[in-house]
Amino acid sequence: MYYNNALLIAADGNPVYMLPGMANRHGLITGATGTGKTVTVKVLAESFSDAGVPVFIADIKGDLSGMSMPGDNNPDIISRAQKLGLMEAGWQFSAFPSVYWDVFAQKGIPVRTTISEMGPLLLSRLMDLTPAQEGVLNIVFRIADDQGLLLLDLKDLRAVVQAVGDNAAEYRTIYGNITAATVGGIQRGLLKLENQGADMFFGEPALDIMDWIRRDQNGKGIINILNCETLFRKPDLYAAYLLWMLSELYESLPEIGDTDRPVMAFFFDEAHLLFDLKSKELQENIEQVIRLIRSKGVSVFFITQNPADIPDSVLAQLGNKIQHALRAYTPAEQKAVKAAAKSFPVNPDFRTEEVIPLLGKGEALVSFLDDKGVPSMVRRAFILPPQSRLGAADDEVINNLILSSDMYHKYSQAYDSESAYEMLNGIMPQGSTLQGYGGNQYMNNSFDNNIQTASEQWDCPGCGAVNTGKFCSNCGMPRPQVQAAQTSEWICRSCNTLNTGNFCSNCGSGRTQSAQPQPQHQTQPQPQPVSYAQPAAGYSQQGTYAGPSLVSMVQAQQAQEAAKASALTQAQIDKIQKDAVKQAKAELKAEQEAKKGESDLSKTAKSIATSGARTAVNYLVRGALGNLLKK
């Protein structure tokens, strides 16, 4: 709770305060499972909210959602509050302004970012790429940036990676070697992301990090709760998301120096996942952000079981520490306890190393920075009981808060802008920008057939609820996909004009069955000879890329393939026609010969008949003459 212009966190007979002006020196909350870390996070978040400081919390187990509801009338909690003398300070059960978020849109408002904002460094970690694959991914991002290709979602990145791989020879001398095996490795990494459901994380509208820095009408800081129950099952995606968010906050906020209270407080649970890094460059980047983000007024608290989970270079930046109990049953655990004890200033009343294993539930060793920035003497104290509800909030309460939030109307509907995928495939999306703002009409148009417009209703196959958005408002299940409508457009072979009717609108040629829409052929620029006085191939005098466009190369390649296919089809048609004419001539000749044969046969028959008649007459005449002579 916020009391006497300070954050009241614990008590040991006397109150233990954290000074708001020193909170942006960051903090650490450690302890074994079940020792009270979650309650400590709730108390800190409530205190920051009371002080008007917005809060972000990664909720892994789902039990932090109860902050939107007042605490139950629990006798044990009331007894603890009375014992610590909190009633005189105005302690009471109360709810705190909360907004629920969820990357998978199951128990919160969808959270998205774009591929460009994530960047190649975090994506490489996310896809577990090798150094060579990471280098090629950097080349892909550079080519997309040089040629104005927007990388918004996974299909954009996949399209650019494929196009760069197909045209690797054009870029080898400009950007570096690009092998087919490396491109294949990146494509497999993208497939891995899709299988993890990351395609829901990348897209538009992308999260504006400033939407998390808000207060309610009473001046309390809004607590943004990211539900990570599903996200945490994919540790790489979870860690990459939190690292991206921290970097985005660092890049978005201005330098303000020291203030009387933080601009925002961030709580990252299971912090050891953030530092499980293979990339030294990424490790250095995180350490730099943590060091410098203090001057932008951001307070970062890491929650983990053991201080040894945090690199020493980061641990040295954490001035406010709360240590719950650590168990020391094995030599490794005993070593961890000794290391944790050495991080606290000495208290002559007890030995820190001996006290850490003996701490009870809700009890902790606490050391905060004083007004001069010096760590105070460690104190053994009880953490305050939370004012909000312990455990998860009711599903009905969460759903009502989600649907009534202005952030839901802003982020619930996805849309697809014209980006790299559309440009490389010659597709013009319909409704590429947002129109209107408010309610379910935030999205009026869409391009992707898997993303429906808000005016179309559908029945959820999971729970049967009627919806209009991309996700079910009841259970969060995505809308079933529909088949893309077939196009009736065709390109005239004579004049290359795009048509929709049965005859070309330009030259009047008739439509053919094989006339399908194809990109117009673009002649690829021929490479010019380069002398020592000229800039490198593909670059202008100003040093900017001026080589062949990736879009033009892809379209030229598609046009060549289409022309080849079209020529092959015409050749086949000509052959069929020649064969048909030849066969027709053969049949005609056979028919003529047959008729001629019939004519000859008729003449022969007539000749035979005439000859036979004459012979018969001769016989008759001779016979008659013979009879006469006998008489």
The pLDDT score that the predictor gives to residue 566 is: 61
H or E element at residue 145? helix 131-146
The pLDDT score that the predictor gives to residue 294 is: 87
Phi, psi of 503 (to 5 degrees): -130, 145
8 A C-beta contact, residue 475 and residue 460:
yes
In the block, residue with structure tokens 């004012």: 387
Average pLDDT of the chain is 78
8 A C-beta contact, residue 27 and residue 320:
yes
Q: Distance (Å, rounded) from C-alpha 367 to C-alpha 345?
A: 8
Which token pair is 551? 């879009």
Going by DSSP bridges, is the β-strand pair 109-110/2-3 parallel, antiparallel, or unpaired?
unpaired
Query: Distance of alpha carbon 346 from its chain centroid, rounded?
Result: 48
Query: Distance of alpha carbon 54 from its chain centroid, rounded?
Result: 26
Average pLDDT over residues 399-419: 90
Asked if the model's pLDDT at residue 383 lies above 90, the reply is: yes
- Given phi > 0 = left and psi -120 to 50 = alpha, else beta, which region is 351? beta
In the block, residue with structure tokens 């009905």: 396
User: Strand, helix or coil at 301?
Assistant: strand
Rg value, the chain, Cα: 40
Which token pair is 597? 């044969």
Cβ neighbors of 483 (< 8 A, separation 6 or more) are 449
498-555 pLDDT per residue, tens: 777 656 667 666 555 444 444 444 444 444 443 334 444 555 555 555 566 777 777 7
Average pLDDT over residues 431-460: 37
121-180 pLDDT per residue, tens: 888 888 888 889 999 999 999 999 988 889 999 999 999 999 999 888 888 888 888 999
Q: How many CB atoms lie within 10 A of CB 570?
A: 13
The pLDDT score that the predictor gives to residue 74 is: 82
Average pLDDT over residues 414-432: 73
8 A C-beta contact, residue 459 and residue 193:
no
The pLDDT score that the predictor gives to residue 430 is: 42
* Paired residues of 17 in beta bridges: 8
